[in-house]
Amino acid sequence: MLFAVYRLYPLLEGLRLSFTNARLGRPTQQWVGLANYTRLAEDTRFGVSLWNTAFYTVASTLPILAVPLVLALALNRGRLRGLLRSVFFFPFTLSVVTVGLAWLWLLDPVVGPFNYYLRSIGVPARSWLADPHTAMWAIIGTTVWWVTGYYLVIYLAGLQDIPRDLYEAAALDGASSRHAFWAITLPLLRPVLLFVGVTHVIGSFQLFGQVFVLTGGGPGDSTRTVVQHLYETAFQNFFQFGAASAMAWVLFAVILAFSVLQFRLLRGHTEY
Amino acid sequence: MSARDRGVNGSDGISPTRARVSRRAFVAGVSAAGVAAWTRRTGAQPKSTITYWNGLTGADGKVMDELIDSFTRDTGIRLEQQRLPWADLYAKLQVAVPAGEGPDLALIHTVEVPHFANDGVLEAIDDATASGKGFRGDDYLPATWQGGTYQGKRYSLPLDVPQHILYLNVKVMKDAGLVGADGKPRGPGSRDELVTMAKRIAKSPDVFGFAIGTVGPGRYTWGFHNLLWQNGANIYTADLKRAAVTEPAALEVAEFWAALEGQHKIAPPANANCRDAFIAGKLGMWIAGSWNFAGLREAKVEFVAVPLPRLFKQPVVWAMPHQYAFPKVKTVDRSRRDAAWAHVRWMTDHVAEWTLKAGQVSASRKAHGDPRITGDPVLKALLSQAPNWQVGQPTPKWVAAENLTRPVIESVYTGQKPAKAAMEDLARQINALPD
Amino acid sequence: MAATPRIDRQSWALTVALLALAVLWLAPIAWVVATSLKPAENIIRLPPEWIPWPVTGAHYHEVLLGSSRTARIGRAFVNSLVVSIGSVVVVLGTSALAAYPLARMRFPGRDLIFALLVGSLMIPNAVLLVPQYVLTQQLGWLSTYQGLIVPEAAMLFAFGVFLLRQFFLGMPRELEDAARIDGAGPWQVFWRIIVPLSQPVLAALAIFAFRSAWNDFLWPLIAVNRPEMFPLPVALALLRSAYSSESYGPIMAGAALSAVPLLVVFVVANRRIVEGVRLSGLKG
In the structure, what pLDDT confidence band is assigned to residue B286 with cuts at 50, 70 and 90?
very high
Residue C49 predicted with pLDDT over 50: yes
Q: How far apart are the C-alpha atoms of B353 and A221, rounded to whole Å?
A: 43
Is the pLDDT at B299 greater than 60? The verdict is yes
- Position with higher pLDDT, B91 vs A247: B91
More confident residue, A124 or B82: B82
**Per-residue pLDDT averaged across B117-139, rounded?**
86
Is residue B326 very low, low, confident or very high in pLDDT (cuts 50, 70, 90)? very high
ipTM of the shown complex: 0.76
Q: Let me know how long chain C is.
A: 284
Closest-CA distance, A132 to chain C, in angstroms, reads 23
pLDDT of residue B106: 95
Q: What is the end-to-end Cα distance of chain A in Å, rounded?
A: 36
Residue-level pLDDT at B41? 45
Whole-number pLDDT of residue A21: 40
Rounded to 5 degrees, what are φ and ψ at A156? -60, -45
Q: Do residues C249 and C33 make contact, with C-beta atoms less than 8 angstroms apart?
A: no
Q: Which residues contact B51 (CB under 8 A, 6 or more apart)?
A: B79, B80, B81, B82, B103, B104, B105
Which positions of chain A have pLDDT values less than 70? 1-42, 236-243, 245, 259, 262-272
Please give the Cα distance from C114 to C191 (Å, whole number).
22
Mean pLDDT of B375-386: 90
Range of weakest confidence among A69-73, A139-143, C41-45, C56-60: C41-45
pLDDT value of position B19: 42
Select from A237, A239, A240, A241 the residue whose CB has the most chain B CBs within 10 Å, as the one to mutate to test that interface. A237
Cα gap A141→B332, rounded to integer Å: 53
Q: What is the mean pLDDT of residues B400-419?
A: 90
pLDDT given at position C152:
80
Contact in structure between B18 and C93 (CB atoms under 8 Å)? yes
pLDDT tens string C194-247: 777 777 778 878 888 888 888 888 788 878 877 788 888 887 776 665 444 456
Q: What residues of C are in contact with residue A191 (Cβ under 8 Å)?
A: 166, 170, 282-284
Q: Is the dihedral of CA A60, A64, A67, A70 positive or negative?
A: negative
- Position C282 pLDDT exceeds 90: no
CA distance B287 to B213: 6
Given CB atoms, is C272 within the 8 Å cutoff of chain A?
no
Residue C167 confidence class, pLDDT cut points 50, 70, 90: confident
B91–A110 C-beta distance less than 8 A: no
Q: What is the pLDDT of residue A28?
A: 44
SS (H, E, C) chain A: CHHHHHHHHHHHHHHHHCCECCECCCCCCCECCCHHHHHHHHCHHHHHHHHHHHHHHHHHHHHHHHHHHHHHHHHHHCCCHHHHHHHHHHHHHCCHHHHHHHHHHHCCCCCCHHHHHHHHCCCCCCCCCCCCCCHHHHHHHHHHHHHHHHHHHHHHHHHHHCCHHHHHHHHHCCCCHHHHHHHHHHHHHHHHHHHHHHHHHHHHHCCCHHHHHHCCCCCCCCCCCHHHHHHHHHHCCCCEHHHHHHHHHHHHHHHHHHHHHHHHHHHCCCCC
The answer to whether C141 and C150 are in contact (CB under 8 A) is yes
Confidence of residue B70 (pLDDT cuts 50, 70, 90): very high
- Nearest partner of A74 among C24, C29, C21, C284, judged by Cα: C21
| pTM for the full predicted model | 0.80
Higher pLDDT, B381 or C162: B381
The whole-number average pLDDT for the span C126-149 is 76
Segment 234-263 of chain A within 8 Å of chain C by CB: 234-235, 241, 244-245, 247-248, 251-252, 255-256, 259
Say how far apart CA A243 and CA A22 lie, in whole Å: 8
∠ CA(B278), CA(B283), CA(B284), 5° rounding?
A: 110
pLDDT in tens, C65-120: 765 555 567 788 889 999 999 989 888 888 887 777 777 777 777 777 777 676 66
Task: Kindly tell me if the per-residue pLDDT of B307 is higher than 90.
Answer: yes
pLDDT value for B21? 46
CB contact under 8 A, A11 and C120: yes
Supply the pLDDT for residue B323.
Answer: 93
Average pLDDT over all residues of chain B: 84
Task: Tell me how close the Cα of B315 comes to any Cα of chain C, in angstroms.
Answer: 23
Distance CA B291, CA B162 (A): 7
Sheet with B361-362, side-by-side order of all strands: B77-83, B48-54, B105-109, B322-325, B156-161, B361-362
Please give the Cα distance from A131 to A23 (Å, whole number): 35
**Phi and psi of B177, rounded to 5°?**
70, 30
- Cα–Cα distance for residue pair C232/C213, rounded to 1 Å: 11
Nearest chain C residue (CA) to A199: C159
CB-based burial, C18-46: b 16+ in 10 Å, e otherwise: beeebeebbebbebbebbbbbbbebbbeb
Contacts of B181 (CB under 8 A, 6+ apart): none
Q: What is the pLDDT of residue A37?
A: 66
Q: What are residue B106's DSSP bridge partners?
A: B53, B325
pLDDT of B15 above 50: no
B33 vs B30: CA distance, rounded Å: 5
> In this predicted structure, what is the pLDDT of residue B136?
86
Which pLDDT score, from 0 to 100, does residue B241 have? 87
CB contact under 8 A, B215 and C247: no
C280 or B199: which carries more pLDDT confidence? Answer: B199
Minimal-distance CA residue of chain C relative to B295 = C247
Instruction: Inform me whether the pLDDT recorded for B73 exceeds 80.
Output: yes
Residues in chain C within 8 Å Cβ distance of B29: 145-146
Taking contacts as CB-CB distances below 8 angstroms, the residues of chain B near A23 are: 119
Chain B: give the shortest CA distance to residue C47, in Å: 10
Q: Residue B383 pLDDT > 50, yes or no? A: yes
C-beta atoms surrounding B415 within 10 Å: 15
B400 neighbourhood in chain A, CB within 8 Å: 236-238
Give the span between the Cα atoms of B417 and C60, in whole angstroms.
45
Residue B429 confidence class, pLDDT cut points 50, 70, 90? confident
Q: Hey, of B18, B93, B109, B271, which one would you mutate to test binding to chain A, going by the most A CBs within 10 A of its CB? A: B271
Q: How far apart, in whole angstroms, are the C-alpha atoms of residue B368 and residue B352?
A: 8
Residue B47: band (very low, low, confident or very high) from pLDDT cuts 50, 70, 90: low
Q: What is the mean pLDDT of residues C9-26?
A: 83
Q: What is the pLDDT of residue C82?
A: 92
Q: Quick one: average pLDDT of B154-182?
A: 90
Does position B130 have pLDDT exceeding 50, yes or no?
A: yes
- CA-CA distance, A155 to A161, in Å (whole number)? 10
Task: Return the residue of A nearest to C118 by Cα.
Answer: A256
* Residue B223 pLDDT class (50, 70, 90 cuts): very high
> Angle A135-161/A81-89 helices, nearest 10 degrees?
150
Chains with ≥3 CB–CB distances under 8 Å to C? A, B
Query: What is the average pLDDT across C119-136?
Result: 69
Nearest CB neighbour to B416, from listed A104, A219, A232: A219
CB contacts, 8 Å: C222 with chain B: 91-92, 95-96
